[in-house]
Amino acid sequence: MSELVKTKAIVLNKINFGDTSKISNLFTEDFGKIPVIIKGARSSKSKIGFIVDSINYVEVVLYKKETREIQISSQIDLIKYYQNIREDFDKLTYANAIIELLNNLLLENEPHKKLFYGTVRIFELLNESNENPKFLFTKYFLFLLKEIGYEIQTEICNSCGKKIVNEASFNYEIGILCNECCQDRLTNFNFNSELIKLLVCLRAKKKCTYKEEDLDYLIIFFEKFLSYNIQEFKGIRSLKF
């Protein structure tokens, strides 16, 4: 028997299904990522097709059945359309990168409430603030890694336990290494003192100073780190254009 439930969601993508419907991957507040058949979404007389556009923040009513792989909905309402994101190329690029990460990394039917509201928050910031979209994305990327179980610790050497003060290196298997411990080990990335400070600052709720090239370096590092740990992950295509 189906249970009628209501939940908030972020639209990840959509594809046509049948003559009048679409299948959409939704990142929901209560159920994590789930595929949903949105009835009537292809009808020219319906506004549902517009509502289930990627990035939109919505509220959806589901006829949810645990044994069903794809849930069914005939009612979906728009909570927020991020117009400023869609009108700014850089903001849209990084918003699409967030959507791509969620779509590729989240397992279905695993709730992530903290990540869900963190994602809603980053879209609000991208839409409303004048902060550099690349900086906001880098901060979110580090947060995402922690929430899906791949937190990167940068304060203490993972070999000797000493506090990282200035420069450091990173080994995919061991983690962060101080200058002494990295001498006889393979290192995949090197961090100067500015990068170390930036990584620490990205975790804190305070204003950071940074260089554009440092943000680029960290984004590449996060991608490579994920690719090493998740074989199926091939990088963020949205950022390659």
Digit-coded pLDDT (tens) for 33-89 = 999 998 877 776 677 778 989 999 999 999 888 888 898 887 899 999 999 999 999
Q: Note the pLDDT of residue 21.
A: 80
Q: Note the pLDDT of residue 41.
A: 72
Average pLDDT per consecutive 10 residues, the chain (241 residues; last block may be shorter): 88 84 92 90 73 95 87 90 97 98 95 97 97 97 97 92 91 93 90 93 89 97 96 92 64
- List phi, psi (to 5°) of 166: -120, -105
The SS3 assignment for 133 reads helix
Mark out the alpha helices in the chain (DSSP H runs).
48-51, 83-86, 89-105, 113-128, 133-147, 193-203, 212-229
Q: Note the pLDDT of residue 26.
A: 97
Q: Name which of 87, 107, 90, 115 is nearest 33 in CA terms.
A: 107
> What is the torsion angle, in degrees rounded to the nearest 10, for the CA atoms of residue 107, residue 113, residue 118 and residue 121?
120
